[in-house]
């Protein structure tokens, strides 16, 4: 079942990885069709994310929408190593310390 479609292949790969990390089996389709743009309608070349288990579609959609929601957390400084981090991160990229 197709649950997501985007014009950006990098975004599609990231979102598929998010689903896989949550244990939701998924497939990425049309990832290499961008070179056909102009020969076929542009939106038909966009990458699509499909899930294997249709019964998990609501869970998958909620997860993808949450990931796409902009972060409103402020920037923060790691209490362990002092690294400055943007608000979307919940752990330090330098030392792994959790927010």
Domains and CATH numbers, the chain: 2-68 (3.30.70), 72-99 (no CATH)
Model pLDDT for residues 25-37, shown as the tens digit of each residue: 999 988 877 666 6
Burial class from Cβ neighbours inside 10 Å (0-12, 13-18, 19+) for residue 13 reads: middle
The stretch 52-69 carries a mean pLDDT of 91
Model pLDDT for residues 70-85, shown as the tens digit of each residue: 767 788 999 999 999 9
Residue 46 phi, psi (nearest 5): -70, 140
- What confidence tier does 41 reach under pLDDT thresholds 50, 70, 90? confident
The stretch 19-26 carries a mean pLDDT of 95
What confidence score (pLDDT) does residue 71 get? 63
């Amino acid at each position: 079942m197709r649950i997501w479609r985007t014009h950006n292949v990098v975004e599609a790969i990231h979102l598929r990885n998010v689903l896989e990390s949550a244990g939701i089996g998924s497939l990425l389709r049309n990832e290499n069709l961008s070179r056909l743009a102009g020969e076929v309608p542009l939106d038909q070349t966009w990458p699509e994310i499909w899930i294997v288990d249709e019964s998990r579609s609501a869970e998958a959609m909620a997860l993808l929408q949450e990931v796409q929601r902009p972060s409103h957390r402020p920037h923060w400084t790691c209490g362990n190593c002092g690294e400055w981090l943007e608000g979307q991160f919940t752990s330090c990229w330098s030392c792994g310390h959790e927010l």
